[in-house]
Chain A
Amino acid sequence: MKQGGTILPVLRRDLLVIVVAFAASLLLGWAINILRPVPVAFPYQSRETRALQGLERTEKEPPELPLEAVQRAVGSAVFIDAREPFFFEEGHLPEAVNFPVSAIIERRLPSLPADRNQRLIVYCSGGDCEDSRIIARALSALGFENVFVFRGGWEEWVEARP
């Protein structure tokens, strides 16, 4: 590219190259995906769909608990942390068991209480995080009768700390 010359022709050429390369990448990626032993589904299936596949489906949404009820439950309920291990290791509720959605998709269940009536309170980061609801539904499908969701999650727990 010459000094002082317009870059427009170069830019046009580059944009064409990029479009062709991107299209070729999508096609090649698609072909590779089809040839995989376990291809990624099209259209994409959410983690919730994959997690609950094969489990007895329940239409009942798990009840939610406010922060105060969760704070009172320390020592009596078992907290289930639905976040990925990286976030769990940064901090979690007292004695929480890490049970991310990826674990249930891969059927790697953590050590869960033997008593199916044990109160379980599931949480994730808070806000728009849906993983707690997914894990709660999976736990219900696995036979646990007393499952709740702490919607405020880790964020609300941390904000309430003195």
Chain B
Amino acid sequence: MGGMGGGEAVIARLALAGLLILAGTLKLPDPLGFADGLAAFHLLPAWAITPLAAGIPIFEILAGGGLISRRFRTAGALASCGLTAAFVVFYGWAFLSGRDVTCSCFGNLELFQVSTTTGLLRAALLLALAAWVAARAYFPPANSANQPSSGTGKGCH
């Protein structure tokens, strides 16, 4: 093991990957619900909502898969930053507009239906996690056990 630093990074990366794959998987069966959620933010034109509602869940799954893989780990980390940043912007806009919005970001399960404020906090926390994971992916500690270019290193699994 590469010490606590390597272990924490692996756990964070896998947790983020799991969340992205879960979010994408839960949205896939109900693109209309997600489309309504995107429309509720009043930020996107009508022509953009349908393709994004259909495509974002797949992109989330791919980003999660990238985080798990070795080859596309940094790309997955960067994509997760983009996704979470976008939802911070969306929820932030809804918060400032005084709207109650549920984006169905984790499908339509009641467990994941949250208020605008909670949604904004959730998105911000996920962005912070994604940013930390991306920083560790692009700038791994100067520790031979954590060199991703060599494959794994002892600290990565």
Residues of A within 8 A of B (CB): 1-3, 7, 10-11, 13-15, 17-18, 21-22, 24-30, 32-33, 36, 38, 40-44, 46-47, 83-87, 90, 102, 124-129, 155
**Candidates A3, A21, A26, A129; contact of B142 at CB < 8 Å:** A3
Chain A residues with Cβ below 8 Å from B46 are: 43-44, 46
Tell me, yes or no, whether B12 is within 8 Å of chain A by CB.
no
Give the docked Cα–Cα distance between A13 and B57 (Å). Answer: 23
Q: Is there contact, CB below 8 Å, between A155 and B58?
A: no
Give the docked Cα–Cα distance between A24 and B97 (Å). Answer: 33
Contacts between the two chains (Cβ within 8 Å), count: 117
Contacts of B16-75 to chain A: CB distance below 8 A:
31-32, 35-36, 39, 42, 46-47, 49-59, 62-63, 66, 72, 74-75
**Candidates B50, B66, B147; contact of A3 at CB < 8 Å:** B147
Give the docked Cα–Cα distance between A119 and B36 (Å). Answer: 30
Tell me, yes or no, whether B102 is within 8 Å of chain A by CB.
yes
Chain B residues with Cβ below 8 Å from A13 are: 75
Residues of B within 8 A of A (CB): 31-32, 35-36, 39, 42, 46-47, 49-59, 62-63, 66, 72, 74-75, 78-79, 82, 97-100, 102, 110, 113, 115, 138-140, 142, 147-149
Give the docked Cα–Cα distance between A3 and B75 (Å). Answer: 18
Name 8 A/B residue pairs within 8 A (Cβ), A-sorted: A3-B147, A14-B75, A40-B31, A42-B50, A83-B100, A84-B113, A86-B102, A129-B99
